[in-house]
Amino acid sequence: MTITPALSDALTILAAAGIVIPTFARFRINPVIGFIIVGIIAGPFGLGSLTSRYEWLQWISITDEAVVEPFAELGIVLLLFSIGLELSFRRLIAMRRQVFGIGAAEMVLTAVLIGGSLWLVGWQPQSALWLGLALAMSSTALVLPISGTQSAVGRAALAMLLFEDLALVPMLFLIGAASGSAAAGLGSVAIKGAIVLAVIWLVGRFALPALFAQAARSKKPELFLAISLLVVILAATATASVGLSPILGALVAGLVIAETEYRSEVEVVTEPFKGLALGVFLIAVGMRIDVRALVEDWPSLLGALAAVILVKSLVTGMLLRMAGARRGVAAETGVLMASPSETTLIVLGAAGVAGILRPDTVAFWSAVTAIGLTVTPLLASLGRLAARRVDHAAAASEEDPPIEGRTVIFGFGRVGRMVADMLDEHDRPYLAIDSDVDGFMEARRSGYSVLYGDVSRRELIGKLDLDKARAVVLTMDDPVLTARIAKRLREEHPALPIIARARDAEHAGALYRAGVTDAVPEALEASLQLSEAVLVDIGVAMGPVIASIHEKRSELRAEIMESGQLDVEPSLGRRRVRDSLA
């Protein structure tokens, strides 16, 4: 078998994927950085440049960047297809204000600020405008896998990225028109594009369900994969043939399949290919980075990247705050979206071919973009840190005044929220404490009386004025922390009723030893209720079932009494009525 350079490059890419993904997953590091580093090391500016001196390096290097480019483009197409699968036409229509409102404002304002700054320092207006538009775009390939599309950050990022992906089509056409290479008018391209998109929708609406149904009857997942890839490739080719971006065709193909009942199966069978293709794209990005040039010109490159990140993060964060987003969401989204995009490289290349940008300008800003893509995962981490700090500062300023006789709830997850709902149902005042910023902010918006804070800090407990509290409820899902806080509260407030959530009988015994008034083992209560339902449903008479449940509760009370070294048997399902008339 003859090992061609193309086959050697393909083997290197596959080996990189097999090593990078599990290695970085083992250390919980985003593999994006790993793929880009592989491209830098194994690419034509790394080991690939030494193959003429050391022939054996061809086995672990990539010498021809052009061989990788088609696979990288396929990766972007598959990524946009997967984004389309997560959406639907109904959701896209519902997001139209965010997409064409904040998405358009973010891109235009960023381009104006960057392009205007370049024009003020002597750039030609046309060059400054197109470079500003190119740098205003953010990475769909990296941002959405990091943020997802379900969180507040993910939804905000998705709206802006969708507008940028849609804007790429007229941008590429206008660049071609500026160079005189556009053969048809903009109106002609728009009409042909509308016809192609309508055909894709009609075929997907009426033909795809039948094809997927046949694949389902055959029970062969490879048929789902074949049909899905065929749809993506045909849609991308169709849009490209009329002057539109193949990315748009892939996105529409995903939207069409998302409207069928076979969406979940398609997502499953295409997921491995999407991940591998994205890895190839990232390797191609790394291959564009010349480390030697970076060393020689690093102040200019890093300074340019820092300026772009600063402008984009401020613009994005400001617009999101004006649109009503939470401070933490605005801060995290702004930093996450701050680096340039893979589509920036596409626009730079087109502008270079059209003569709008000089070759040295294209090379410089392509290097800036490649570095920006490399640091995107780091920006995501910085964004999350910034969000936590901003939300912490906002939460610290929102404190409820002490109320005589209120119940204080430590922890506000599903259990704490249920307790608060029942207290509210009976018109009893309460205050909940929670250390999860997102949960705290959501609860505040929902009208709950919640204070942000870490209950493990003695200073916070000291500010709660627990001498005036009616009771304290411990709902945290941390056995050690719950026991430690219970012991501290009992030492400082001997008469305070303390009701704690326990995992099981052993944990309940430990909590009684720590000084709680009541410990409720949720797993045991749920098991008893489940057992009761099973026995009744299979035909056992209700009387014997209730008797056996009471007997089992008695056994558990005895077990907890022995474990907790109690003098009095715990209630555990036999609620006392003391003070009920008080």
- Long-range contacts of residues 528-531, Cβ cutoff 8 Å, at least 24 apart: 528/552, 528/553, 528/573
Q: Are 561 and 570 in contact (CB under 8 A)?
A: yes
What residues contact 350, with CB distance under 8 A and at least 6 apart? 172, 175, 176
Nearest to 40 by CA among 381, 373, 379: 373
Mode of pairing for the β-strands spanning 471-474 and 450-452: unpaired
241 token code pair? 């043939």
Is pLDDT above 70 for 449? Answer: yes
pLDDT band at residue 391 under the 50/70/90 scheme: low
Helix (H, G, I), strand (E, B) or coil at 216: helix
pLDDT band, residue 579 (cuts 50/70/90): very low
Most trustworthy range by pLDDT among 25-39, 240-254, 331-345 = 331-345
Q: What is the pLDDT of residues 192-204, one digit of tens each?
A: 778 888 888 888 8
Name the strands in the sheet holding 518-521, side by side, starting at the edge strand that comes first in the sequence: 450-452, 430-434, 407-410, 471-474, 498-502, 518-521
User: Class of 407-564 per CATH?
Assistant: alpha beta
CATH fold of the domain at 5-387: Na+/H+ antiporter like fold (1.20.1530)
Quick one: 259 exposed, middle or buried, by C-beta within 10 A (0-12, 13-18, 19+)?
middle
The answer to whether the 5-387 and 407-564 domains have the same CATH topology is no
DSSP letter (8 states) at residue 410: E
Specify the higher pLDDT residue, 261 or 431: 431
Residue 278 has pLDDT above 90, yes or no: no
Report the pLDDT value the prediction gives residue 92, as an integer from 0 to 100. Answer: 67
Q: How far is CA 389 from the centre of its chain?
A: 19
Q: What is the pLDDT, as a whole number, of residue 546? A: 82
Is the separation of the CB atoms in 113 and 95 below 8 Å? no
pLDDT of residue 139 exceeding 50: yes
Q: What is the pLDDT of residue 327?
A: 80
Mean pLDDT calculated for residue range 376-404: 71
Q: Which amino acid is at 360?
A: D
- The string of pLDDT tens digits covering residues 68-107 is 677 667 777 777 787 677 666 666 677 778 888 888 899 9
pLDDT in tens, 170-229: 776 677 656 554 444 556 767 777 888 888 888 888 888 888 888 777 777 778 788 888
181-185, 536-540, 545-549: segment of lowest average pLDDT = 181-185
In a 10 Å sphere around its CB, with 0-12 CB exposed, 13-18 middle and 19+ buried, how is residue 582 labelled? exposed
List the one residue out of 168, 569, 123 whose CA is nearest residue 357.
123
Mean pLDDT of the chain: 78
Question: pLDDT at residue 268 above 70?
Answer: yes
Higher-pLDDT residue of 438 and 299 is 299
Highest mean pLDDT: which range of 92-101, 117-126, 251-260, 509-518 = 117-126
Q: In sequence order, what are the residues at sequence separation of 6 or more whose Cβ sits closer than 8 angstroms to the Cβ of residue 247? A: 76, 77, 80, 165, 168, 236
The domains of the chain are located at 5-387, 407-564
Selected residue with higher pLDDT from 109 and 422: 109
Residues 120-148, mean pLDDT to the nearest whole number: 86
CA distance 119 to 115: 6
Residues with Cβ < 8 Å from 58, sequence gap 6 or more? Answer: 5, 8, 51
User: Residues 315-365: pLDDT tens digits?
Assistant: 999 998 888 777 878 888 899 899 888 778 778 877 887 788 888 888 788
**Residue 575 — pLDDT band, cuts 50, 70, 90?**
very low
Q: With cut-offs at 50, 70 and 90, classify the pLDDT of residue 53.
A: confident
- Rounded Cα distance, 402 and 468, in Å: 8
Say what the pLDDT of residue 305 is: 92
Q: Could you give the angle at which helices 31-42 and 359-374 cross, rounded to 10 degrees?
A: 140
CB-CB contact of 289 with 40 (8 Å): yes
Residue type, 427: D
Which is nearest to 144 in space by CA: 421, 393, 341? 341
- Give the lowest-confidence range in 1-10, 111-120, 260-269: 1-10
**Bigger pLDDT: 114 or 144?**
114
Residues 6+ apart with CB under 8 A from 273: 78, 225, 229
Give CA–CA dist 479/21, Å, rounded: 35
Beta bridge partners of 409: 432, 473
* pTM (whole model) above 0.85: no
Q: Read off the pLDDT of each residue in 158-176 and give the average, rounded to a whole number.
A: 77
* pLDDT the model gives residue 314: 93
- 114 pLDDT tier (thresholds 50, 70, 90): very high
Phi, psi of 532 (to 5 degrees): -60, -45
Tell which wins on pLDDT, 498 or 192. 498
